[in-house]
Amino acid sequence: MKWQEIIVLRTAVMADQPIHLLKHAAGSSLAPGLKEISVCSHASIPGDFAITLLWETEKSKPWGSDLAIGLVQELKNLGLVDHSIWIIQQRRAKNGE
């Protein structure tokens, strides 16, 4: 089963700390079943960040992965955090990607 976690952080001001924390998490995790991590900053709202975790496991975790739950706890000190879990129903690569 493929599933994805999306963690969104909304901070009051643009700061380097959240993006460094997200990049550190993206670079240091070797959790079983974790296929991809993406770190994003909002195109027009400074201080808004997102991290996506793409998983392929036997079943999804309805409350989220241990990695995401720990990251959410750390990010709560920096601003508003939203964490959601999505089951991928269909995925299609464009042009064979």
pLDDT in tens, the chain (97 residues): 999 999 999 987 666 666 666 666 666 667 889 998 888 888 998 888 898 999 999 998 889 998 899 889 988 988 899 999 999 997 776 775 5
Number of residues that this document lists for the chain: 97
Whether residue 39 lies inside any domain: the answer is yes
Domain of 11, in residue numbers: 2-92
Residue type present at position 68: A
Q: Minimal CA–CA distance to 27: which of 57, 71, 77?
A: 71
> What pLDDT score does 90 carry?
79
- Does residue 75 contact residue 5 with C-beta atoms inside 8 Å? no
Q: Which helix (H) or strand (E) holds 28?
A: helix 16-28
Whether residue 12 lies inside any domain: the answer is yes
3 state SS of 34: strand
Q: Minimal CA–CA distance to 33: which of 59, 7, 70, 69?
A: 59
Whether residue 67 lies inside any domain: the answer is yes
Question: What is the reported pTM?
Answer: 0.82
Whether residue 97 lies inside any domain: the answer is no
> What pLDDT score does 78 carry?
85
Whether residue 64 lies inside any domain: the answer is yes
Give the count of domains, the chain.
1
The CATH number that applies at residue 75 is 3.30.70.100
Whether residue 82 lies inside any domain: the answer is yes
Whether residue 83 lies inside any domain: the answer is yes
